[in-house]
Structures are given as structure tokens and as C-alpha cells.
């Protein structure tokens, strides 16, 4: 069972916080897979073969299962949760109010905290040689992140261990990754988020995924 699963499940992408999300979900669910250690900005995501066979958008991570290529880290997590989460409740059942709240946190992390805030910082500060410097935009992105992340701190203020309460879900992977990313940009987090982040980083699956996401660099 594990061997056949290994043959048909491949994750493309390592070494970024977005690829970590997919490695972490696979580790939480105990799923066997092969890793293709493709890195961002290495040229490997832009080859004709990658663009035609894996992801025409030229991005990682991509999960390939049963010949289907699934891009977008949030979509990969929700797919894995629905297909393999079972009774464990890695995402609540689709069509329930609980699932709507779960998806709300996933989209919030992916759009407001990742794409609208942290990715602006990354592109127009760290990678300004490629994307151009934009100091006003990056300052405003920092302020926006601070404002938006406060809502997450408020949601955790009742002492719940995870976003949905007692059960860890895919939404916690999305959220922890954007907190990790913020800390790598030296953004201070409110106290409930410091504890929340530490709790999730202590999970064995987080550690397994961190190792899988950091294979030795080629050459
Ligand atoms: N919204 C996408 C973003 C994917 C993305 O931008 N990935 C970056 C690395 S974190 C990438 O593949 N860049 C292409 C490259 O630099 O070659 C997701 O969450 O999966």
C-alpha cells in the first residue's frame, strides 16, 4: 500500500515556505511520496519540460498524483485533507459551516498575509534586483501585515491550541507558514501568535517536513 502510494505521488519543490506547506501536510497525514528537489529562481521551473508537463505557471510546489498536477499550496493542502484526512478532521467536511471557517483562514493566509503583504516585501525588498525596489509599497505591506495578523491573535485569545479549536487542520499549516515568513522578515508577532507558532513548530511532522524541504543543494 505504501509502496504503490510512493510510486504515484510526487511533490515538486523544496526550500521555500510555500513548498514546506505541502511537505508538512504530507508528513502530518503519514503519506509516502517522492520529492523532486526543484528550487525557485534556479531556472528549473522555467524549462520547456517543466512548463509543459508540470506547471505552466512555472511555480512550485506542485503535487502530482495519479497523473494529475495540482499547483497552489492551499489547493494541495485541501486536496490532501479531503482525500486522506478521514476521521482525523485535517479539514472539516466540505459543505459544513466549520469547513467554511477553515477555508476562510486558508484564503486569508494565502491572500492577505502571503500575497498582499509578505510577497510584496519579498519581491520589492529582498529581490529588488529582479522585481524593482518599491520602498513605499513595502512599508505599506508591513503595516498591512501587522493590522491583519492582529485578527488572528484575537481569534486565538480564548487559549485554543489551533485555529479551529482542539483539532489541528490544514489552516494551521497555512497560518504557521506565514508567521514563519514574517519572522524571517523580522516582523514582531503578538504574544498569542508567538505561542501558537512555537506549538506548531514543535510537531514531529513539522520537523520531518523541514528536513524534507531542505535537501542538500546540488553541486
Ligand atoms: N500562490 C502560489 C505561489 C507559488 C510561488 O510563487 N512559488 C515560488 C516559490 S515560493 C516559485 O515557484 N517561483 C518560481 C521561480 O522562482 O522559479 C502557492 O501558494 O503555491
- Cβ 78 under 6 angstroms from ligand 1: no
Pick from 15, 17, 18, 62 the residue to mutate for probing ligand 1's pocket: most ligand atoms within 8 Å of its CB: 18
SS3 label, residue 35 = strand
pLDDT at residue number 3? 40
SS3 label, residue 34 = strand
What would the 3-class secondary structure string for 197-217 be?
A: HHHHHCCHHHHHHHHHCCCCC
The mean of the pLDDT values for the chain is: 95
pLDDT, averaged per 10 consecutive residues of the chain (219 residues), comes to 60 98 98 97 97 98 97 98 90 96 98 97 95 97 97 97 97 98 96 97 98 85
pLDDT at residue number 5? 46
Q: What is the DSSP string of 41-108?
A: TSSTTSSHHHHHHT-TT--S-EEEETTEEEESHHHHHHHHHHHH-GGG-SSPPTTSHHHHHHHHHHHI
The domain ranges of the chain are: 2-89+206-212, 97-203
Ligand 1 centroid to Cα of residue 149, in Å, is 22
Please tell me whether the overall predicted TM-score, pTM, comes out greater than 0.85 for this model. Answer: yes
pLDDT at residue number 88? 82
Ligand 1 centroid to Cα of residue 209, in Å, is 18
Cβ atoms of 164 and 98 closer than 8 Å: yes
Domain 2-89+206-212: CATH class, spelled out: alpha beta
pLDDT at residue number 168? 97
**CATH 1.10.10.10 at 97-203, yes or no:** no
pLDDT tens-digit map of 117-133: 999 999 999 999 999 99
Ligand 1 centroid to Cα of residue 101, in Å, is 25
pLDDT at residue number 1? 37
Ligand 1 centroid to Cα of residue 1, in Å, is 31
- Cβ 41 under 6 angstroms from ligand 1: yes
Burial tier of 67 (Cβ tally within 10 Å: 0-12, 13-18, 19+): exposed
Amino acid at each position: 500500500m505504501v509502496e504503490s502510494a510512493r510510486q504515484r505521488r510526487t511533490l515538486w519543490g523544496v526550500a521555500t515556505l510555500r513548498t514546506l506547506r505541502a511537505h508538512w501536510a504530507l508528513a502530518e497525514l503519514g503519506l509516502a511520496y517522492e520529492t523532486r528537489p526543484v528550487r525557485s529562481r534556479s531556472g528549473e521551473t522555467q524549462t520547456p519540460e517543466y512548463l509543459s508537463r508540470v506547471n505552466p505557471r512555472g511555480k512550485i510546489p506542485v503535487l502530482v498524483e495519479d497523473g494529475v498536477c495540482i499547483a497552489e499550496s492551499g489547493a494541495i493542502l485541501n486536496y490532501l485533507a479531503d482525500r486522506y484526512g478521514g476521521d482525523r478532521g485535517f479539514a472539516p467536511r466540505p459543505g459544513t459551516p466549520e469547513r467554511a471557517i477553515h477555508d476562510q483562514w486558508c484564503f486569508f493566509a494565502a491572500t492577505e498575509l502571503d500575497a498582499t503583504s509578505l510577497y510584496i516585501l519579498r519581491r520589492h525588498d529582498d529581490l529588488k534586483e529582479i522585481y524593482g525596489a518599491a520602498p513605499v509599497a513595502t512599508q505599506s505591506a508591513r503595516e498591512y501585515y501587522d493590522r491583519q495578523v492582529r485578527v488572528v491573535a484575537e481569534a486565538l485569545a480564548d487559549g485554543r491550541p489551533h485555529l479551529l479549536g482542539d483539532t489541528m487542520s490544514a489552516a494551521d499549516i497555512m497560518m504557521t507558514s506565514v508567521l514563519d515568513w514574517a519572522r524571517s522578515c523580522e516582523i514582531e508577532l503578538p504574544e498569542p501568535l508567538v505561542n501558537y507558532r512555537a506549538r506548531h513548530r514543535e510537531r514531529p511532522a513539522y520537523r520531518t517536513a523541514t528536513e524534507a524541504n531542505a535537501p542538500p543543494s546540488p553541486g
